[in-house]
Structure 1
Amino acid sequence: MAEIALIVSATSLAVLVWLALGFARLRSSLKDPVAAVAPLLEEKHRAMLTDLHIGLTQQGDRLGRHLTDSSERLSAKIDQRLDQIAGKVDERLDEGFKKTNETFVNVMQRLATIDEAQKKIETLTGSVMSLQELLGDKRSRGAFGEVQLEALVRNVLPPAAFELQYTLSNGMRVDCALRLPPPTGLVTVDSKFPLENYHRMFDREADQVERAFAQKQFKADIRKHVDDIARKYIIAGETSDGAVMFVPAEAVFAEIHAYHPEVVEYAIGRRVWIVSPTTLMAVLNTARAVLKDVETRRHIHIIQEELGKLGVDFQRFDERMKKLADHIRQAHQDAEDVQVSSRKISQRFQQIEAAEIEEKPPANVVRLEPDRK
């Protein structure tokens, strides 16, 4: 508004200056002749200036009102547009905040999952370190193998079929003795864990010579364990003619059977069978099946006696069933006879109601024949 008023004022001033200059030129050209009409011209001039001033004032008022109306309409449109923009901005902000909140919740859940996994990894790392420390000692490895052997045997066989830390007649104590029926008899199972040289065989920091030497020592360890088991735990007349060497690590067992068949053949020659946790489960399941078959054979006479009793009871049941069938058949026949009698009685009642009874003459009345002419 201030700029518009300034423009109008400048325009009015320019018109006044232009009129003043024109009047001056006209006055200088006329000089004395015009002096007589100077008051008239001056009056005309003042009237024109007054009219011009009034016209400019009215024009300025109209322009001011128009600009005010335009400014108000423009302000209203701007306010409306700003309200729309603000609404959309608020809506976008709400959506963005909602999505950000959902993303934050998902991130927190993922972080919680990662934190839980990290704790499990730390626990597992500690367990692995503890297991490495446990397996690093020879006596600890032996205890680990005995515990694993005990768990496998207890899960498969009944308590009467085995004994842990069994002492033989020669004073030797075996980890586990399986009591199987004749002719197998007592089967000894001992746990061995040849782990030191096995680790040296796969040590990346060792050279080829050291690995070859470790492999040689590994086979020597297996042979020594086989000899110890065959010498200590196979006793003629007391145990079976063979024993079981339990290796509690599947990797060690696989290494022996895959790359050292001569050691396996040597063990078989000494009547020692090398097993892992998996293969020992198969052996124990077979032993359980044998025990179950023996128990079944032992109680076969009881089973036969019970089957005989069951046969007698079934024969008695068959006879009683036949009698019951005869009674049911007779009852059915009697029911049919009663139904026939009932039907006849019903028909007779119907005839009586319909007065269809035939008249019969008394027995002492004699009918006379009509005379014939």
Structure 2
Amino acid sequence: MSYLLAIVIFMAGCAFGFGLAYFLRQREREMAEGLKGVFAQVSMDSLSRNSEEFMRLAKSVLEAKTGEGEKQLESKKELIDAQLVNMKDSLEKLQLFMNSMEKDREAKFAEISEQIKGTVRQTERLTDVANDLNRALSSSAERGRWGERMALDIIRAAGLVEGVNYKEQQTMKNGSRPDFTFFLPKGLMLNMDVKFPLDNYVRYYQTDGAERESCLKLFIKDVRTKIKDVKDRGYVDRAEDTLDVVLLFIPNESVYEFIYENDDTVMDFALNNNVILTSPMSLFAVLAVIRQSVENFAFESTSADMLKLFGEFYKQWKMFSEKFEMLGRRIDDVKKEFEVLTTTRTKQLERPLEKIDTLRREKGLEID
């Protein structure tokens, strides 16, 4: 019984506890809902007041910032305008510079174009000269005429005059006929031959190997043969007042150097045969010496005549000076006599004339 009572009491206690808990829970909810409404109202009022304050503050800040922004924008605008003006000036200067560069480029392009045209013309002339030289070297007759033209150009460049300083193709008394004969002081003469063998020299550059070496040997042999041939032609003849040597003209500096490089004894061989090998440059030097020696000899040969003329001139000048001095003295004497006539004698003549004129006026005589 007690056990059931305890269970009943426990269950009643639990029901009461649950009921009390439920009541308290409901009461708590109601209180929470009330507080929530109060807090919501308070929050809304606070938020409304804060929003209005925030809007006023934001408006004032925005107005201040807007004013500052307008000022900054105005200063920036002035700075930008100044920068734009500077940029405009810079662009104008750049445009002027570009125009100047364009004009200069056009001028330089025209100049370069003209230079290219000049180079083309020079190249064409060089090609023509090379072709002419090739034709000249391919024919012995042409080589001879080419050598004569080269020699003649050098002779004229040295200032020699045909018929005065030299003659071309003049036949000697012994029948020889050198290409050029130069006239030296005291009636002496110097002969020159300009025909030079170049066949094997040309073949040397057209071949190679053993054949090339063979052409080299043949060319050196041709040179020595030509030297002997010039010696035996009678160009050196004391009976005709020639020098003891004769000139052999090699019409190309390269050929002259080629001979010396491949046969350093050929020069001595030529001198032993009374032959002097000359290139265009060395021929010009020889002719310059010839011209100077002729002029010096002509001056020396006329020095005695000039001294005689100076003596005669001095004699005549002395006589002229004496006569001129005598004439000067006579002029001085005449001047003195003239001064006497214009002063003393004139006054002596004027005195009686004045007395005569006074007497005429006293008598009342008029002059018609």
- Residue type of the alignment partner of 2:125: S
Partner residue of 1:132 out of 130, 133, 149? 130
| 1:272 lines up with 2:270 in the alignment | no
Match of 1:248, SS state, is coil
Structure 1: gaps (5+ residues): 1-24, 35-41, 328-373
- Residue 72 of structure 1 corresponds to 70
CA deviation vs aligned residue, 1:310-364 (integer Å, no higher than 9, x gap): 231354367579989999xxxxxxxxxxxxxxxxxxxxxxxxxxxxxxxxxxxxx
- Residue 286 of structure 1 corresponds to 289
Give the TM-score of the pair, scaled to structure 1.
0.60
Taking the aligned partners of 2:63 and 2:175, their CA distance within structure 1 comes to 126
Asked whether the 8 Å contact 1:256–1:264 carries over to 2, the reply is: no
- Residue type of the alignment partner of 2:188: T
Note closer, same or farther for the CA distance 1:108–1:192 as it changes in structure 2 (3 Å cut).
Answer: farther
Offset of residue 171 of structure 1: 6.5
Partner residue of 1:249 out of 232, 249, 252? 252
More helix by share: 2
- Residue 263 of structure 1 corresponds to 266
Structure 2: gaps (5+ residues): 1-29, 331-368
- Residue 8 of structure 1 corresponds to none
Asked whether the 8 Å contact 2:178–2:235 carries over to 1, the reply is: no
| 1:150 lines up with 2:152 in the alignment | yes
Asked whether the 8 Å contact 1:174–1:233 carries over to 2, the reply is: no
Identity of matched residues, %: 22
| 1:217 lines up with 2:218 in the alignment | yes
- Residue type of the alignment partner of 1:122: V
Taking the aligned partners of 1:180 and 1:30, their CA distance within structure 2 comes to 150
Asked whether the 8 Å contact 1:134–1:140 carries over to 2, the reply is: no
Offset of residue 306 of structure 1: 0.9
Give the TM-score of the pair, scaled to structure 2.
0.61
What number of residue pairs does the alignment pair up? 296
Match of 1:157, SS state, is coil
Offset of residue 76 of structure 1: 1.6
Offset of residue 199 of structure 1: 5.8
Taking the aligned partners of 2:319 and 2:128, their CA distance within structure 1 comes to 71
Match of 1:166, SS state, is coil
Taking the aligned partners of 2:69 and 2:170, their CA distance within structure 1 comes to 109
- Residue type of the alignment partner of 1:179: F
Taking the aligned partners of 1:261 and 1:67, their CA distance within structure 2 comes to 104
CA deviation vs aligned residue, 1:283-307 (integer Å, no higher than 9, x gap): 2233223433453465456424312
Q: Which has the higher mean CA deviation after the structures are superposed, 54-63 or 223-232?
A: 54-63
Q: Which has the higher mean CA deviation after the structures are superposed, 173-182 or 233-242?
A: 233-242
Match of 1:273, SS state, is strand
Taking the aligned partners of 1:221 and 1:109, their CA distance within structure 2 comes to 57
- Residue type of the alignment partner of 1:69: G
Taking the aligned partners of 1:266 and 1:107, their CA distance within structure 2 comes to 62
CA deviation vs aligned residue, 1:184-234 (integer Å, no higher than 9, x gap): 23x322224555544665x59834x44432321221232233244334462
Note closer, same or farther for the CA distance 1:182–1:299 as it changes in structure 2 (3 Å cut).
Answer: closer
